[in-house]
Amino acid sequence: MTPPLISIEGLRVHFTSGKRCLKAVDGISLSLEEGETLGLVGESGCGKSTTGKAVLRLEHPTGGRVLFRGRDLAKMSSKELSAFRRESQIIFQDPYASLNPRMTAGDIIAEPLDIHRLERGAARLVRIHELLQLVGLSPHHASRFPHEFSGGQRQRIGIARALAVRPRFIVCDEPISALDVSVQAQIINLLKALQEEMGIAYLFITHDLRVVKYLSKNIAVMYLGHIVECAPTEELYKNPSHPYTQALLAAIPLPDPVQERRRTRIVLNEEVPSAFSPPPGCVFCTRCPLAQPICHTERPAMRQVGPQHFAACHFSKLRTPMSLT
């Protein structure tokens, strides 16, 4: 049986500050197949970006494993890890801060080629021009500097850089959150077209559930370092089981003003607890409108509530799916 492209098993990433420990990621398990998109959603500060960096070994895990085609990244030699980095790339959130302002667009795109010694001389220039055209830019843009581009164009340069080494897996770390709404749709359509053409797998990190529905085959919902629900996209939208997922979906504006006025609101009154001192039971219990005494003392295990649908909630099977229309 062929293993998944990416397997995350009990991943933990903890940071210490004096005697305190911040549990940014606290024992999550996920998998991603070739050519698919896994959406990772949640509020700011829940550990999404740390998860993406840990998958790429940009952050060293405190515990658990990350497997690439069945191989543990922590046990790879430097040569094997270099080969892994050729097959895995990242698109950053800020398209300006992630580009060196002293380098031209052509040199930025060619930097992975130079590091991995893939293309030189005339072939290097040809590859730069190919990548610029692939992301919707012109070859003559190669001689310009980042400040000469718009935000959407800078993100296209970042995408071209990620594609330079022909990766099989890309972490998209909120790649559209810093862009205008009109530009966001262009970048999303570009990423989708590139996936269909090249068969790339994405771990798509975002807080926008509308975007992740369009791109992802499966969605994992993250809260305070934990995965609280994971399901195929359509199943998650039709039958959200965890109360946090229901609250996120209820916050999506509806285009019909009549439906928008009639639907039931889910209000979360409390603030997100500190990751330095999470609740001892369910991490969502302090904000959950349906919390019971057991929720404050016992952490719920992830359990199956439907076909390929899992939720970490003591009462997930007892809840009636929320209507989103």
Look at residue 80 and tell me if it is in a domain: yes
Look at residue 152 and tell me if it is in a domain: yes
pLDDT tens digit sequence for 212-262 = 999 999 999 999 999 999 999 999 999 999 999 999 998 888 777 887 777
Residues 202 and 261 in one domain: no
Per-residue burial over 124-151, b if 16 or more Cβ lie within 10 Å, else e, is: beebbbebbebbbbeeebbebebeebeb
Residues 188 and 39 in one domain: yes
Which range marks the domain in which residue 89 is found? Answer: 6-216
Residues 11 and 133 in one domain: yes
Residues of the chain by 3-state class (helix, strand, coil), percent to 5: 35, 20, 40
pLDDT tens digit sequence for 24-79 = 999 999 999 999 999 999 998 899 999 999 999 999 999 999 999 999 999 999 99
Per-residue burial over 54-76, b if 16 or more Cβ lie within 10 Å, else e, is: bbbbebebbebebbbeeeebeee
- Residue 317: pLDDT band with limits 50, 70, 90: low
Predicted TM-score (pTM) of this structure:
0.91
Domain count, the chain: 2
Residues 122 and 269 in one domain: no
Look at residue 77 and tell me if it is in a domain: yes
Distance, CA of 200 to CA of 37 (rounded, Å): 9
Report the CATH number that the domain containing residue 163 is assigned in CATH.
Answer: 3.40.50.300
Q: State the chain's mean pLDDT as an integer.
A: 91
